[in-house]
Chain A
Amino acid sequence: MSGQAESAIQGQGRVGKVFGYAAMVAVLAVIAVPLFWIVVTSFKAHDHIYVRPAEYLPIPFTPENYSDVTTRIPFFAYFRNSVIITFFTAGIKIVLGVLSAYALSLLRFPGRGILFVVILAALMVPNQITIISNFALVAQLGWKNTFQGIIIPLAGVAFGTFLMRNQFLSLPHEIIEAARMDGAGPFKLLWRVVMPLSWPTLVAFSLITIVNEWNEYLWPFLMSDDERTAPLQVGLTMLQNNDGVTNWGPVMAGTVLTILPVLILFLVLQRQMIKGLTSGAVKS
């Protein structure tokens, strides 16, 4: 996000600058203070959570909440399930997205435009409208509480196909044509010519997919009853259910552990992630 084109509302005086910084601080506070609150609570001792006025520093420092949450619920099983579900769903989506995009951009065949629209239109169908019938189908197959039951219904890819197709279409034709004249077959062309020129877009697409699958809630929630297949997010809301009155220390520790992997990924690779989101939006 390097801004070559600086703001229109530029060149304002000192008052504007002061106002700008004040607004920035306010925004930071609104976003960061709740996050700070979550982290602090996760390190608080039980009787320091339920006090008024609230305490903003975790004294005494209580990392036991973290060991607590990993022993009171099968935390590592949930974590493993999250990793498995994310890895396979995202993996299948990325492969299918690239292959579909390749066919829709670099091959010519009748009905190509229509098929592209058919794939893209899937974006307009909310998941929630499909859950009842999909639930019935998956239950019939005996796939409840299985990983394939969670993964396969989520594996069709519309957004990624759109993103990668646009990327492939933006490649210079001369390069592709030259490779073809050199006798490169379709898969060699894809692997040796098209993909090396498309890494940044593929990375963006992959990141968005990984984050989305990690955060997916409704479908795994319906599909899994316990720690055999339930991902972290589902485990977290089960933890919430367990205690009549929520025991916030361990629950917040669980929340932090759920959020952390994605947040780290984001902090390292935010540029690529944002590129994927915006390249589909701006100009189209």
Chain B
Amino acid sequence: MSSLASTADGADSGPVTTSVGDRRDQKRDPRVPFGPPPLRRAGRKGEWLLAAGLLIPNLALLFVFVYRPLLDNIRLSFTDWNISSPQANYIGFANYVEWFGRDDTKTVFFNTAVFTIATVVLSMALGLALALLLDQKLKGRNLVRSVVFAPFVISGAAIGVAFQFVFDPSFGLIQDLLAKIGVASPDFYQKPGWALFMVTATYIWKNLGYSFVIYLAALQARRGDLDEAAEIDGASKWTHFRKVLLPQLRPTTFFLSITVLLSSVQVFDIIYAMTRGGPIGNGTMTLVFQVYHETFVNQRAGYGATVATVMFLILLVVTAVQVRFMDREQRA
């Protein structure tokens, strides 16, 4: 036991670094994060039982309400279940055939793609721009930082309800501001394209603060010496941004691209509060909204489950591509 004598070597600095010490564990599989070196001899029965007792409630909840329904959803997608009846008949791939053949699939897919790409790209780009701006020594920057982050903590449903009136084509805020410069307001309520614009803009307005604080934290944690070196070299600001800053921020960008994508694909509250998926039936219908709509409004849970399964597969592929892309980038 060298517990008290050996100091500091185990004291991990950051809250995130996962593997601490114990080379054996790391060699076994560098991807699986392992804890601190064995504090006592491993495998003691009491410890094992205690761990089980501490973990089982949480694991049970996750199994019953996350992993079980994930699998059950796939089973349901092969049925014609209607959510209320006890009876569900196996109908093979009929739902999938229907999904690929239906006209509205194209619209829903297009809406989802536009909404997701616009929200991910714009909120990350604007978040980075704001982080760069508010990382500078400007008076009042703390106030602006708080203001930019504030909408992120507000309920999406409340924002959706209130922003419906902000965008009201007859009496709303946007309409009035446009009128002041002599422009007629687009019909955000009736025109599908403008309705999609409305929910996208609202989502970005609400969630921009997240990308912003993550980028800002990354900027504050970065290595200042590289900046100085670049300054001495007389690099232009643009070169400096591209060659020094962006590469340093790459892990953050990767992290954000996955988390922002996951949350933006899942958005329900804003769309429900603002448009109920409309106008004209499916003007702002996204895949997630369609899952809800088919299952609970049209009472076609089997078909809804099919849409959910397709969506999950798409997400899985997109995330896998992101990870692969990142891997290659880092090796290069």
Q: When the two chains form their complex, are residues B54 and A37 in contact, meaning their CB atoms are under 8 A apart?
A: no
In the bound complex, what is the Cα–Cα distance between A263 and B29 (angstroms)?
44
Asked whether any CB of chain B lies closer than 8 Å to the CB of A87, the reply is: no
User: What is the size, in residues, of chain A's interface with B at 8 Å between Cβ atoms?
Assistant: 127
Interface residues on B, range: 35 or more
In the bound complex, what is the Cα–Cα distance between A124 and B258 (angstroms)?
10
Q: Which residues of A contact B291 (CB under 8 A)?
A: 128-129, 131-132
Q: When the two chains form their complex, are residues B138 and A5 in contact, meaning their CB atoms are under 8 A apart?
A: no
Q: When the two chains form their complex, are residues A174 and B268 in contact, meaning their CB atoms are under 8 A apart?
A: no
Closest CB-CB distance, A223 to chain B, in whole Å?
Answer: 11
Task: Map CB proximity to A onto B305-319 as digits: 1 under 8 Å, 0 otherwise.
Answer: 100110110010001
In the bound complex, what is the Cα–Cα distance between A186 and B48 (angstroms)?
12
In the bound complex, what is the Cα–Cα distance between A211 and B10 (angstroms)?
34
Q: When the two chains form their complex, are residues A113 and B171 in contact, meaning their CB atoms are under 8 A apart?
A: no
Asked whether any CB of chain B lies closer than 8 Å to the CB of A240, the reply is: yes
Asked whether any CB of chain B lies closer than 8 Å to the CB of A88, the reply is: no
In the bound complex, what is the Cα–Cα distance between A21 and B15 (angstroms)?
34
Q: When the two chains form their complex, are residues B36 and A169 in contact, meaning their CB atoms are under 8 A apart?
A: yes
In the bound complex, what is the Cα–Cα distance between A130 and B47 (angstroms)?
34
Q: Chain A contact residues: over half helix, strand or loop, or mixed? A: helix
Q: When the two chains form their complex, are residues A7 and B135 in contact, meaning their CB atoms are under 8 A apart?
A: yes
Q: When the two chains form their complex, are residues A155 and B158 in contact, meaning their CB atoms are under 8 A apart?
A: no
Asked whether any CB of chain A lies closer than 8 Å to the CB of B247, the reply is: no
Asked whether any CB of chain A lies closer than 8 Å to the CB of B70, the reply is: yes
A117, A166, A180, A181 — most chain B CB neighbours (10 Å) = A166
Q: Which residues of B contact A (CB under 8 A)?
A: 3-4, 6-8, 10-18, 20, 29, 32-40, 42-44, 47-48, 50-52, 54-55, 57-59, 61-62, 64-70, 72-73, 76, 83, 130, 132-138, 140-142, 144-151, 153-158, 160-166, 170-173, 175-176, 179-180, 205, 210, 213-214, 216-222, 224, 227, 230-231, 237, 240-241, 244-245, 251-252, 255-256, 259, 262, 265-266, 268-269, 272-273, 288, 291-292, 295-296, 301, 304-305, 308-309, 311-312, 315, 319
Q: Which residues of A contact B (CB under 8 A)?
A: 1, 3-12, 17, 20-21, 23-24, 27-28, 30-35, 37-38, 41, 49-54, 96-97, 99-100, 102-110, 112-119, 122, 124-137, 152-158, 161, 166-167, 169-170, 172-174, 176-178, 180-181, 186, 201, 211, 214-215, 217-218, 221-222, 233-234, 236-237, 240, 246, 248, 251-252, 254-255, 258-259, 262-263, 265-267, 270, 273-274, 277-284
